[in-house]
Homo-oligomer: A and B are copies of this chain.
């Protein structure tokens, strides 16, 4: 897109058309400033085919707040809306509404409570709660969902990939297959979810980390075409980057050419007092090649050299590779644990596009409206019981068991106090028969999840450094049951309603069905 157009395409009009037609309707009906509350939540964990996630990592909030700080209605926006004609050729938006929008076109009046970025989150419990004037709360919907859905999706995938790697560093290599400039958000989310760094140079620097990378096949091809061969290419690279030397060994033949040439160059580096980092394998049977390469590196005295794996990796591919190494390495005299400990993962396409589950189904649902000086809870029925939203102004608490492991997320009404209660009733959100009661003594900690993020349109907190977000994610993952973290067929984490909220929901469903 032309640079001059970016301000329009990514600014206030980065929204759905119906938010604008509805805003005009609310304005005309004197409802634009009516106080309302919307919940943002997702309904289902990402399902990558045979292996649905058992948790998600929320991300994107800081970029949403950044967007809110800069997205204002501009004269150019108003001109475009003025040009919009309906089917009969008359204008869709009136001058009265456009004047109002021009005057009111910022986010003042809106407040947001949210689960902080980097935390583990689960379906059907509010992650973000927006309170404020109706027209603005509605206009915010699309951008809020856009920012939070994608980053949460990628942070979740990255957490799974990192978990599969058993401590080996994961690098995001996804920019070239990522979604246009959205790839930058993906890189950020991947690092919140656990990636150590990224090949994506600009955004990685801006987020305070150093981008990662080696060299491409094309460099080797070029030296070959110029008559200097793979060895010449490796020598040139090692000469320039003697202490940061990772060599890509699969341009010609990994085991017959690439690894032997790399070892030759590593020996030269060592002789000069440098410590080579390692090699990268980018094609073929990565498990088999890693074992053979490890044996060759070990024999040459480079038993600490890293082996970077890349090519179509995701959490299942990594898991399979490690399993194969465990089975196969001993046959070749290679210690599997030692080999696994030196592996590093370059993960591209499948992480930045969350292959298999390319979107998160986050939604934004009206839950309460101000009337007669109080909040009137709102509900939306549906043929599908799972799609009936949980009404009212709510809070979310995470309950930790005696092991200090998270055991359930409890959604209740604003004003309830599960912390002080002797026992806590946990209702399944939709199934009446699914109910349990926890004694307070079984619970080691009750912690609220929603925190103030935006107050009257202005950020409530300074931006949090990436390392801290990544640490939050690690800490939350540490307090998840291993069964919930299982890659395939994970244990279902409980998200429950309090007794009061369950009763309110039943009452509203019955009242609405009767109207």
Which of B88, B205, B252, B382 is close to A381, meaning CB atoms less than 8 Å apart?
Answer: B252
List A277-325 residues whose CB lies under 8 Å from chain B.
277, 283-284
Which of B175, B219, B354, B383 is close to A284, meaning CB atoms less than 8 Å apart?
Answer: B383
Residues of B within 8 A of A421 (CB): none
Q: Does A502 contact B (CB under 8 A)?
A: no
A368-380 vs B, Cβ < 8 Å mask (1 yes, 0 no): 0101000010111
Cβ-defined contact, B365 with A218, below 8 A: yes
A178-194 vs B, Cβ < 8 Å mask (1 yes, 0 no): 11111111101000000
Cβ-defined contact, B151 with A180, below 8 A: yes
* In the bound complex, CA of A77 to CA of B88 (Å): 51
- Which of A3-11, A428-436, A471-479 lies on the face that meets chain B? A3-11
Cβ-defined contact, B36 with A141, below 8 A: no
Cβ-defined contact, A87 with B277, below 8 A: yes
Cβ-defined contact, B8 with A177, below 8 A: no
Cβ-defined contact, A383 with B283, below 8 A: yes
Question: On chain A, which size bracket covers the interface?
Answer: 35 or more
Cβ-defined contact, B253 with A134, below 8 A: no
Q: Does A21 contact B (CB under 8 A)?
A: yes
* In the bound complex, CA of A42 to CA of B244 (Å): 32
Total identical chains: 2
Q: Does A240 contact B (CB under 8 A)?
A: yes
Which of B182, B212, B218 is close to A178, meaning CB atoms less than 8 Å apart?
Answer: B182
Q: Does A229 contact B (CB under 8 A)?
A: yes
Residues of B within 8 A of A182 (CB): 178-183, 185
CB distance from A303 to the nearest CB of B (A): 18
Cβ-defined contact, B17 with A240, below 8 A: no
* In the bound complex, CA of A141 to CA of B350 (Å): 20
Q: Does A104 contact B (CB under 8 A)?
A: no
* In the bound complex, CA of A381 to CA of B31 (Å): 67
* In the bound complex, CA of A16 to CA of B252 (Å): 23
Q: Does A358 contact B (CB under 8 A)?
A: yes
Among A19, A218, A349, A358, the one with the most B-chain Cβ atoms within 10 Å of its Cβ is A218
Q: Contact residues of A with B, CB < 8 Å?
A: 1-3, 5, 8-22, 24-25, 28-29, 31, 36, 38, 60, 63, 66, 70, 77, 80, 83-88, 90, 92, 134, 138, 141-142, 145-147, 149-151, 173, 175-186, 188, 199-206, 210-219, 221-222, 224-226, 229, 236-237, 240-241, 243-244, 250-254, 277, 283-284, 349-350, 353-356, 358-362, 364-366, 369, 371, 376, 378-384, 387, 512, 515
Selected A-B contacts with CB under 8 Å, 30 pairs: A8-B202, A8-B206, A9-B206, A10-B181, A11-B202, A15-B200, A16-B176, A17-B212, A19-B216, A20-B201, A21-B240, A24-B240, A60-B180, A138-B218, A146-B183, A150-B178, A178-B182, A179-B180, A180-B186, A181-B182, A218-B366, A221-B380, A225-B378, A252-B515, A254-B383, A283-B383, A284-B383, A349-B361, A353-B359, A354-B358
